[in-house]
């Protein structure tokens, strides 16, 4: 199966930003995929956060309104990007 890398811009739209609870959910979500999944700030593409690390997500300190680049690299990247961007679109279900 071919490897693929997919990116998509997502926006943190809930009031509290990407705080502890959604970060923990993201870690669990990302751990279900084989693809490497990262979130980065467009202005700082060289320091992406690893979606499987809660600390790394929290350190992003993404407040409400922050735009992030979601990227996944691996065979199940499309599904991963779909599920995670959906989670962002739903305001982290808050």
Instruction: Give the interface with other proteins as residue ranges (CB under 8 A).
Output: 15-17, 19-21, 24-25, 27, 50, 52-56, 58-59, 61, 94
Q: How far apart are CA 32 and CA 45, in angstroms?
A: 24
Annotated catalytic residue 34? no
Contact between 51 and 30 under an 8 Å Cβ cutoff? The reply is yes
Catalytic residue among 10, 18, 19, 88: 19
User: Which residue in the block uniquely carries the two structure tokens 């202005």?
Assistant: 43
8 A C-beta contact, residue 17 and residue 11? no
Which one, 90 or 94, has the nearer CB to other proteins?
94
Cα Dmax for the chain: 40
Partners of 71 in beta bridges? 7, 38
Which residues are designated catalytic?
A: 19
């Amino acid at each position: 199966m071919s490897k693929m890398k997919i990116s998509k811009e997502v926006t943190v739209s809930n009031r509290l930003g990407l705080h502890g609870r959604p970060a923990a959910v993201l870690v669990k979500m990302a751990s279900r995929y084989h693809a490497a999944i990262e979130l980065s700030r467009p202005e700082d593409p060289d320091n992406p956060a690893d979606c499987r690390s809660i600390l790394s997500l929290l350190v992003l300190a993404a407040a409400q309104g922050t735009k992030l680049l979601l990227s996944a690299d691996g065979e199940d990247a499309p599904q991963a990007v779909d599920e995670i961007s959906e989670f962002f679109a739903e305001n982290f279900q808050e």
